[in-house]
Amino acid sequence: MITFSRVSLIYPHSTTTVIEDLSFEITEGEMVLVMGHTGSGKSSLLRLINGLVPHHTGGILGGEIIVDGKSTRRTKPGELAGIVGIVGQNPLSSFVTDTVEDELAFGMESLNFPPDVMRKRVEEALDQVGLASLRSRNIATLSGGEQQRLAIATALVMHPKVLVLDEPTSALDPIASEEVLAILHRLVHDLSVTVVLAEHRLERVIGYVDRILLIEGDGATSIGEPSEILQRTDLVPPIVRLSRALALDVIGTSTREVRKYSEAIRQSAPDSPRPIFQPGEVVISLNEISAGYAEKIALNSVSLQLRQGEITALMGRNGAGKSSLIKSAVGLLEPTSGSITFGGSLAGRDICEVSQRERSQLIGYIPQEPGDLLYLSTVAEECNRSDRDHQLASGTTLAALHQMLPTISPQSHPRDLSEGERLSLVLAIALAGSPVLLILDEPTRGLDYEAKNRLMALLHQRAREDGTCILMATHDVEIVAEVADRTIFLADGEKVADGTTLEVLLASPAFAPQVAKVMSPRPWLTVGDVLRAQSSSQ
């Protein structure tokens, strides 16, 4: 279905090749995962399949790409619209019309399909993704998961032979992500659609894919069965790390398989729970805060106390009120009722009484789009700015950044950094003033495992050594399992669970991390937990 023969790609005004001498073949009805570090050219590779690269972006393409018998070199992306459906990273910015039905019809109208065919296909696509009840809704009012499903449906109405998806689950909560993957699985198995997707959260997709295309740091690529490819890379999901750590006979792509081989440790090892962390004094307390409008309540009387040195994860489905809670805690959103008070040296002071200047010293905030904070032209300038803002000796922030990430060049432009590097820069800036409270909104989106490990190490060190209180809203159960001491669950603006990460994650099957699924019913969330249990049994 898709054949790449000796493909190389170089973008204009660039001296390095994005892809070099890549050859592979994907057959009909296969589901292939493209994986690699951030910036390894995954997105470029995906967009080569329907010719957006180089027709739309410019650049020089070497070699030949044949999709369903057509060469993308000679065929424009528009002419491939009926063959290749592409779903980008951010579906909301790819929608052209206002309502669900109109959006589905858009592509077919452009290709001048007769109205009766269109109606049939719209119905079909709505059923395939389960959006039939939302057909006349305005797109802006859909949840993240619904938008992602709509984006897939807009590709499906064209009856494509190939479906290309760039990080389809990165913005979704675990439940919505399961729904999307189940749809893809069905397409591959029932309709023999060829699916090519890129995804960083391997734990979510690894059980579904037939083959993996791995792009390594040096540009070398290989394609093969998951079990074969995962043997050779460091970018592996927790389940593979688990089977490696326990030296099992399987590589570990499915829960069922690894479960079978790890029976012994589940039987013999003692629970040996992780030591419960004793946090310090209260840093901030939210007292029965509510927020939202009459018709839509974002938060309903939520009370919360965050303490020194404690890492708290805030979880819940898209639209559960996580963002509202975070915005209230940093003082951007004034709650309609309730109060927020600081503890510690500011004992009892209400957030409204603390000046914005003081607040920015107390609270470090990492927004969902870290790039929002950056506006200077080099990394060094951004760091100097931060030194001045916090009245620090010149070079302090840059030194902190280098400690986090030695490879970063001070002269590079913040826009040219990878997601992981940009997050490190923003963290260095936010932490420069040694805030007592660090708040992160969805920090792991678009991060590969390496960058994620770096983030986890930093959070842990900050919390334990400097006593910073950390609150992190995230959909990423794996990072929660690794670093969070405490997990809070929101649903429909209400706090439905608040306890140690172990209790909360084990209680909810949908939000359980991969290792916990394998080791159920034993109380282990991470590879570290399992190893601790193992060593204490010996």
Q: In 10 A of CB 394, how many CB atoms? A: 10
Which residue from 281, 277, 316, 278 is spatially nearest to 299, judged by alpha carbons? 316
Give residue for tokens 């030695």: 406
| Closer by beta carbon to another protein, 151 or else 527 | 151
Position 306 contacts another protein (CB under 8 A): no
Cα(338)–Cα(335) distance, rounded to whole angstroms?
7
Position 427 contacts another protein (CB under 8 A): no
Q: CB under 8 A: which stretch of 102-110, 296-304, 445-453, 530-538 binds another protein?
A: 102-110
> At its nearest, how many Å lie between another protein and the CB of residue 76?
8
Position 46 contacts another protein (CB under 8 A): no
> At its nearest, how many Å lie between another protein and the CB of residue 362?
10
Position 14 contacts another protein (CB under 8 A): no
Among positions 320, 374, 423, 459, the unique one binding another protein when judged by CB under 8 A: 374
> Quick one: which H or E segment has residue 303?
strand 297-307
Position 298 contacts another protein (CB under 8 A): no
Residues 494-513 touching another protein, rule: CB under 8 A, are none
Question: Mind giving me the DSSP string for 182-202?
Answer: HHHHHHHHHH--EEEEE-S-H
| Closer by beta carbon to another protein, 345 or else 415 | 415
> At its nearest, how many Å lie between another protein and the CB of residue 532?
38
Tokens of 299: 């938060």
Number of helices (H), then strands (E), belonging to the chain: the values are 21, 19
| Closer by beta carbon to another protein, 58 or else 509 | 58
Give residue for tokens 């992160």: 440
Among positions 207, 367, 420, 493, the unique one binding another protein when judged by CB under 8 A: 367
Among positions 102, 123, 492, 494, the unique one binding another protein when judged by CB under 8 A: 102
Among positions 355, 391, 407, 411, the unique one binding another protein when judged by CB under 8 A: 355
Residues 87, 172 contacting (CB under 8 angstroms)? no
Q: Is 143 exposed, middle or buried, given 0-12, 13-18 or 19+ CB atoms closer than 10 A?
A: middle
Site string for another protein, 149-178 (x = CB under 8 A): -----x---x--------------------
Q: Are strands 311-315 and 2-10 parallel, antiparallel or unpaired?
A: unpaired
Which residue from 429, 434, 454, 432 is spatially nearest to 444, judged by alpha carbons? 454
Residues 309-338 touching another protein, rule: CB under 8 A, are 327, 330, 332
Q: CB under 8 A: which stretch of 80-88, 178-186, 269-277, 342-350 binds another protein?
A: 80-88
Position 106 contacts another protein (CB under 8 A): yes
Which residue from 47, 44, 50 is spatially nearest to 76, judged by alpha carbons? 50
Q: In this structure, which amino acid lies at residue 322?
A: K
Cα(421)–Cα(483) distance, rounded to whole angstroms?
20
Q: CB under 8 A: which stretch of 314-322, 355-363, 399-407, 511-519 binds another protein?
A: 355-363
Position 118 contacts another protein (CB under 8 A): yes
Position 296 contacts another protein (CB under 8 A): no
> At its nearest, how many Å lie between another protein and the CB of residue 191?
19
Position 12 contacts another protein (CB under 8 A): no
Q: CB under 8 A: which stretch of 92-100, 201-209, 211-219, 401-409 binds another protein?
A: 92-100
Residues 56-75 touching another protein, rule: CB under 8 A, are 56
DSSP annotation of 350 reads B
Among positions 58, 78, 217, 499, the unique one binding another protein when judged by CB under 8 A: 78
CA distances from 258 to 127, 506, 527 (A): 35, 19, 13
Which residue from 374, 460, 446 is spatially nearest to 413, judged by alpha carbons? 374
> Quick one: which H or E segment has residue 285?
strand 282-292
Position 278 contacts another protein (CB under 8 A): no
> At its nearest, how many Å lie between another protein and the CB of residue 270?
46
Cα(156)–Cα(129) distance, rounded to whole angstroms?
9
Cα(315)–Cα(124) distance, rounded to whole angstroms?
34
Cα(261)–Cα(331) distance, rounded to whole angstroms?
50
> At its nearest, how many Å lie between another protein and the CB of residue 523?
38
> At its nearest, how many Å lie between another protein and the CB of residue 260?
43
Cα(164)–Cα(162) distance, rounded to whole angstroms?
6
| Closer by beta carbon to another protein, 51 or else 252 | 51
Q: CB under 8 A: which stretch of 67-75, 133-141, 306-314, 404-412 binds another protein?
A: 133-141
Position 113 contacts another protein (CB under 8 A): yes
Cα(120)–Cα(518) distance, rounded to whole angstroms?
43
CA 373 to chain CA centroid, Å, is: 20
* Count of residues that interact with another protein, criterion CB under 8 A: 66
Among positions 132, 140, 220, 264, the unique one binding another protein when judged by CB under 8 A: 140
| Closer by beta carbon to another protein, 128 or else 243 | 128
Position 536 contacts another protein (CB under 8 A): no
Cα(341)–Cα(282) distance, rounded to whole angstroms?
10
> At its nearest, how many Å lie between another protein and the CB of residue 353?
15
CA distances from 274 to 214, 521, 523 (A): 35, 16, 10
Cα(310)–Cα(278) distance, rounded to whole angstroms?
8
Cα(79)–Cα(92) distance, rounded to whole angstroms?
23
* Site residues for another protein per CB under 8 A: 47, 50, 52, 56, 76-82, 84, 86, 88, 90, 93-98, 101-102, 105-115, 118-119, 122, 138-141, 154, 158, 327, 330, 332, 355-361, 363, 365, 367, 369, 371-375, 389, 415, 429-430
